[in-house]
Amino acid sequence: MTRWIIGPVAALAVGCAQGAPLDGDTSGTLGTTMTTTMPTSTDPTTGSGTVTETGETTTTTTSDGETLTSETGETTTSTTGEPTVLDEYYPFDEVHSPITADVAASLAAIKAKSAKTDGVFAKVGGSSTASTNFMHCLADVMQIMELPAELQPTVDYFNATAAGMGATSFSRVSLAAMAGWGGAEVLAGMPSPLVNEMTEILPRFALVLLGTAELEVPPPDGLFTFADNLVTVVDTLIAGGTVPILSTMPSRTMPAGIEVYVPRYNAFVRALAQGRKIPLIDLNLVLSGLPSLGLAPDGIDLSVALGGDMVTPAPCAFGFAGSTSGYNRRNLATLEALARVKPVVVDGAAPPDASAPRLMGAGTLAEPIVIPSLPFADMRSTADSPSDEIDTYAGACMTMGEDGPEYVYELNIVEATSIRALVFDQGNVDVDVHLMTQTDAATCVKRADRELEGPLQPGTYYLTVDTLGAATPGEFAFVVLAEG
């Protein structure tokens, strides 16, 4: 089979849960027997219908003892001889998402929607965004220490425009940020705090970090509610001509065990930013190497550097003193993001990035979208899919009524991996995920409406995100994580 690979081959699992109902229950698992890891041989050429043959067979044993076989010796040829190139893919190992010509065009389209004040940004979020340790110190030259010289023009620019009475964007107390708030609170009321803030200061940009509060809602409901609300926040900003700059959330260690949910939230944040082609700050990545993950002793708030008296917070100390503190690093990364996006949106400057990784594949059975590595995040619409080949799944799934269009993904696993896969949809859109061992609906081994998890053995698998019955085809986000 021809497989167009970009980046490391890794595991993905989504799909058709053996015995799993359509209510998101994930009691089914994807196998419990380990086999010897057999690396898949691939040819990453992007030219003329190259064929890869590995001749390997691997097995997976399901929770009821059935042995599943994954053939990696199949051969398939691209229908065109050239792989289909899709949108930019935001790398998981970069703090700032790429701003290419395509992303810049998306940002220009947002700007064109409405006149806003270019030198103003809003803050949208919960406790760490509402804290005076976040950005406020950048309004006071006496508090700024060892700021990288290339960021000074950005500080000067946003300090030159008022954002309400007696404040600039840095020092403003936002109507859309409050301790303990999640997306529901930001959107509550008529008008909402978000709309009130947009109306009062007419910001060209908005710094958005949500999710920390929703972590305390029992899973998986908290995650899916968070996702719905974040989409509404982002789309409200975009419709009003404000460019959202999304941020992943920091880790969190209190209450104990809550940190395992953070990557699931952050994968959706990435999928949304990528799907809307808006900037993303991977704050979680920024803080990941810091002492206590950049957290304060309470395991919830961010840490902050202290001034010379060892009492007064110094969140704008950007030299050695602030290099290991959460707020200091968040302030620096946020300022870097503004410095990247402002010239493109306000000044019409060339985008800072010439290119970015791209997903490959049409999303059909003949040419699946190749998952480059885990974690994985994607966002697209089944209404745009070129594939409507599968209406009925057999095998362990035995389902009918998947009558709408689907996207097909290919996953390659080189070692046994425990995964979690989630699919998000909204409104009248209803998509399900299915896992197959071949590009044949009769080989479906697991199905779920929202979420599934379990171990997968080495081999090649195929996943579909398929529209259910008479549901309206439409937008979905699809994320896959390696867990355990």
Residues 154-186: tens digit of each pLDDT: 999 999 999 988 899 999 999 999 999 999 999
Q: What is the CATH number of the domain that holds 129?
A: 3.40.50.1110
The C-alpha atoms of residue 422 and residue 113 are separated, in whole angstroms, by 32
pLDDT score at 77 = 39
Segment among 25-29, 66-70, 141-145, 479-483 with least mean pLDDT: 25-29
Same domain for 208 and 313: yes
Per-residue tokens: 425 = 């949809």
Q: Is 151 left (phi over 0), alpha (psi -120 to 50) or beta?
A: alpha
315 close to 328: Cβ distance less than 8 angstroms? yes
Residue 4 scores a pLDDT above 70:
no
Residues 336 and 475 in one domain: no
124 close to 308: Cβ distance less than 8 angstroms: no
pLDDT at 14: 32
Residue 125, domain member (yes or no): yes
pLDDT over 80 (residue 341): yes
Taking residues 320-324, what's their average pLDDT? Answer: 91
Q: Is 199 exposed, middle or buried (0-12, 13-18, 19+ CB in 10 A)?
A: exposed
> Does position 315 have pLDDT exceeding 50, yes or no?
yes
Classify residue 47: in a domain, yes or no: no
Whether 132 and 174 share a structural domain: yes
Least confident of 69-83, 131-145, 173-187, 329-343: 69-83
Both 299 and 370 in one domain: the answer is no
pLDDT at 166: 87
% of the chain residues with pLDDT over 70? 83
Distance of alpha carbon 241 from alpha carbon 83, whole angstroms? 35
155-169 CB burial, b ≥16 within 10 A, e <16: bebbbeeebbeeebb
Residues 192 and 64 in one domain: no
**Half-sphere exposure of 313 toward its Cβ, with a 13 Å CA cutoff?**
17
Tell me whether residue 27 is in a domain. no
Tell me what pLDDT residue 80 has. Answer: 52
321 assigned to some structural domain? yes
Residue 362, class by beta-carbon neighbours within 10 Å (0-12 exposed, 13-18 middle, 19+ buried)?
buried
Beta strands in 37-147 (DSSP E): 57-61, 67-71, 85-88, 117-125
Q: Is residue 97 part of a domain?
A: no
Give the pLDDT confidence of 366-398 residue by residue, as tens digits.
999 999 999 999 999 999 999 999 988 988 887
Average pLDDT, the chain: 85
Q: Is the pLDDT of residue 198 over 60?
A: yes
Give the span between the Cα atoms of 329 and 334, in whole angstroms.
8
Average pLDDT value for residue range 455-472: 88
End position of a domain, from candidates 312, 346, 380: 346
Give the model confidence (pLDDT) of 26-58 as tens digits: 333 343 333 333 333 333 333 333 323 333 444
Query: Of 346, 379, 404, which residue sits at a domain end?
Result: 346
| Residues 164 and 75 placed together within one structural domain of the fold | no
Mean pLDDT of 7-30: 32
Q: Report the relative pairing of strands 459-467 and 431-436 from DSSP bridges.
A: antiparallel
- pLDDT for the residue numbered 187: 98
Choose the final residue of a domain: 294, 312, 346. 346
- Tell me the range of 322-336, 387-401, 423-437 where mean pLDDT is highest: 322-336
H or E element: which one contains 337? helix 326-346
User: What's the CA gap between 233 and 252, in Å, rounded?
Assistant: 23
Q: Are residues 205 and 272 in the same domain?
A: yes
Q: Which two tokens stand for residue 134?
A: 């976040």
- Asked if 219 and 265 sit in the same domain, the reply is yes
Q: Which domain holds residue 382?
A: 57-88+358-482
Which H, E and C letters describe 369-394, residue by residue?
EECCCCCEEEEEEHHHCCECCCCEEC
Say if residue 190 is in the same domain as residue 237.
yes
One-letter amino acid for residue 152 of the chain? Q
Distance, in Å, from the CA atom of 463 to the CA atom of 71, rounded to the nearest integer, reads: 15
At residue 113, the pLDDT reads 98
Rounded percentage of the chain residues whose pLDDT exceeds 90:
68
Q: How many domains does the chain have?
A: 2
| Amino acid 219: pLDDT | 86
pLDDT at residue number 52: 33
Q: State whether 275 and 380 are in the same domain.
A: no
Greatest CA span in the chain, whole angstroms?
Answer: 70
pLDDT at position 401 is 79
Question: For residues 44 and 425, what is the distance between their CA atoms, to the nearest angstrom?
Answer: 32
Q: What is the pTM of this model?
A: 0.84
Both tokens of 351, joined, read 């985008």
Go through 222-260 and write b for each residue having 16 or more CB atoms within 10 A of its CB, e for each that does not: bbbebbbbbbbbbebbbebbbbbbbbbbbbbbeeeebbe
Residues 370 and 241 in one domain: no
The residue count for the chain = 484
Q: The domain spanning residue 71 has which CATH number?
A: 2.60.120.380
Provide the pLDDT for residue 18: 31
Residue 425 lies in a domain: yes
Is residue 13 predicted with pLDDT exceeding 50?
no
pLDDT (mean) for 431-445: 90
Residue 324 is assigned to a structural domain of this protein: yes
Could you tell me if residue 46 is inside a domain? no
Clarify whether residues 245 and 194 are in a common domain: yes
pLDDT of 69 > 80? The answer is no
Interacting residues of 413 by C-beta distance below 8 A, sequence separation 6+: 9, 10, 11, 12, 456, 457, 458, 459, 460, 461
Q: Residue 117 pLDDT > 90, yes or no?
A: yes
